[in-house]
Amino acid sequence: MTGSLLARLLRRSSPQQSRFICQRSISQSAAERTKETVSVEPPVLPAFDYVPPPYSGPSGDEILAKRKEYLSPSIMHFYKSPLNVVEGKRQYLFDENGRRYLDGFGGIATVGCGHCHPDVVEAIIEQTKKLQHSTVLYLNHAVADFAEALASKLPGDLKVVFFTNSGTEANELAMMIARLYTGCHDIISVRNSYHGNASGTMGATAQSIWKFNVVQSGVHHAVNPDPYRGLFGSDGPKYAKDVQDIINFGTSGNVAAFISEAIQGVGGIVELAPGYLSAAYDSVRKAGGLCIADEVQSGFARTGSNFWGFEAHGVQPDIVTMAKGIGNGIPLGAVVTTPEIAKVLTRRSYFNTFGGNPVCTAAGLAVLKVIEKEKLQENAFVVGSHLKERLKALKDKYEVIGDVRGQGFMLGVELVTDRELKTPAKEETLHVMDQMKDLGVLIGKGGYYGNVFRITPPLCFTKEDADFLVDAMDYTLSRM
């Protein structure tokens, strides 16, 4: 309806008719605007100079049927129509039809190298040709070389390395070391945290929504220092008072350890409130305990500004655990501590059959070299900062985005149906994930309510990749 026509109609109408005409005009204008928005073309994947060979294996439907029959029913999958991934190359994945997807999530396990980095692949192949496995009772330079290189990346006296097969094993070992070293049994962890799959780490995980509610004696859960949903906003020391209260009233006054992620990963990319870790560390150390930094997800330059997540908090832990990206997808984990603390395991025999085998450690050393050679920490900072700013711009545009947080290439976008009440938008989260997959973008989800997008791409992500990811999210949200 044109402006002149609307004016003529209003002059000839009664007040009631005028209101009806105005409402109809507004509705038509909104419809026209919606039509204009819908007509915008979907974003297009950046160019990439690789095309996979034709796939001749079983279809996704066949694999899904076999999974349902032979694999544990507990194994979940993303998307209404699960993706059959058959090949990966750097920051991209390819399905059975040769379609390319931007991997905005699996990078948490592939670090900066991306999928099938040639340097890492070559290191694995060459070591496999020479020796696949040998007990640590014999000598092999690949294991010692990687331990030395890893220790050089850590501050202070953190230089003694124990290799494991996973982050779960690393955290189990770290807690056992702390208990043996201090002679205490009590462990303090943070609510909404995630530390692994074994009974001890399930107990420390603190939320039965992530793992089964396995009760572990001596495990205490402190209030989560969540700046978005927490009681005290960004006041870290106020949250840390709960750690002191647990020591005062929940234990004998002594603790074995405090374990925490620098940024909660599965918990929804929650950054700990400023000042929390330093205050919590002070309380724990005064009670004779050790401080364990779980760097399974935030380590290896992922946060951009630092190589390790804990460094952003100005603290130095007594024990650091790591896994996932340490081997670019190879099963490998590690515990690093000081020579003094490490001696405690000489009282008994600690042995791990496959932890730190030559093939895995060769891959780990290659990963460190690639991070340095390709300046991937710098890339995580520069491109990650750009990506976060673009996501924050989406928050200004769409009410459904309640919060954007994280650092580098460890970012979270929380969806809510009401910004004041912070009501979790669970169904909307699943819808957007499915729609973005159809556009060629893969992202993860997490958070206590399952309403947070976890954006953790390989560190080789480019600015063009970041823009495509945000454009795909923008396009999807505009049509919700």
Determine the angle formed by the axes of helices 463-477 and 376-397, rounding to 10 degrees: 20
> Residue 415 contacts by C-beta under 8 Å, 6 or more apart in sequence?
400, 401, 402, 424, 425, 428, 429, 432, 451, 452, 453
pLDDT of residue 212 exceeding 80, the answer is: no
User: For residue 234, is pLDDT > 90?
Assistant: yes
Question: Which percentage of the chain shows pLDDT scores above 70?
Answer: 89
- Domains of the chain, earliest start first: 60-112+375-477 (3.90.1150.10), 118-373 (3.40.640.10)
Return d(Cα 393, Cα 2) in angstroms, integer.
Answer: 33
Higher pLDDT, 72 or 350: 72
pLDDT digits (tens, 9 = 90+) for 179-207: 999 999 999 999 999 998 887 887 787 66
Residue 266 identity: V
Residue 211 banded pLDDT, cuts 50, 70, 90:
low
Q: Which token pair is 111?
A: 């670090």
Mean pLDDT (the chain, rounded): 90
Mean pLDDT calculated for residue range 457-461 = 95
Of 65-74, 238-247, 307-316, give the lowest mean pLDDT range.
65-74
Q: How far is residue 323's CA from residue 332's CA, in Å, rounded to a whole number?
A: 6
Distance of CA 186 to the CA centre of its chain: 27
The pLDDT tens digits of the residues spanning 354-398 come to: 998 999 999 999 999 999 999 999 999 999 999 999 999 999 999
What whole-number distance in Å separates Cα of residue 342 and Cα of residue 319?
10
Reported confidence tier of residue 172, pLDDT bands at 50, 70, 90:
very high
Q: Which two tokens stand for residue 338?
A: 């000081």
Token look-up 């020479």 returns: 130
Task: For the chain, give the percent of residues with pLDDT over 90.
Answer: 79
Q: What is the pLDDT of residue 391?
A: 98
Query: Which of 139, 144, 172 has its CA nearest to residue 160?
Result: 144
Provide the pLDDT for residue 15.
43
The identity of residue 60, as a single letter, is G
Mean local confidence (pLDDT), 402-424: 98
The pTM (predicted TM-score) of the whole model is 0.89
pLDDT for 208 beyond 60: no
Kindly report, residue by residue over 145-157, the tens digit of the pLDDT.
Answer: 999 999 999 999 9
| Two tokens, residue 457 | 């791409």
Confidence of residue 17 (pLDDT cuts 50, 70, 90): very low
Helix (H), strand (E), coil (C) string for the chain: CCHHHHHHHHHHCCHHHHHHHHHHHHHHHHHHHHHHHHCCCCCCCCCCCCCCCCCCCCCHHHHHHHHHHHCCCCCCCCCCCCCCEEEEEECEEEECCCCEEEECCCHHHHCCCCECCHHHHHHHHHHHHHCCCCCCCCCCHHHHHHHHHHHCCCCCCCCEEEEECCHHHHHHHHHHHHHHHHCCCCEEEECCCCCCCCHHHHHHHCCCCCCCCCCCCCEEEECCCCCCCCCCCCCHHHHHHHHHHHHHHCCCCCCCEEEEECEECCCCCEECCCCHHHHHHHHHHHCCCEEEEECCCCCCCCCCCCCCHHHHHCCCCCEEEECHHHHCCCCCEEEEECHHHHHHHHHCCCCCCCCCCHHHHHHHHHHHHHHHHCCHHHHHHHHHHHHHHHHHHHHHHCCCEEEEEEECCEEEEEEEEECCCCEECHHHHHHHHHHHHHHCEECEEECCCCCEEEECCCCCCCHHHHHHHHHHHHHHHCCC
pLDDT mean over 294-299: 96
Check pLDDT > 70 for residue 271: yes
pLDDT(288) > 80: yes
* Range in 278-292, 303-317, 344-358, 395-409 the model is least confident about: 344-358
219 close to 256: Cβ distance less than 8 angstroms? no
Which pLDDT score is estimated for 29?
Answer: 43
pLDDT at 18 over 60: no
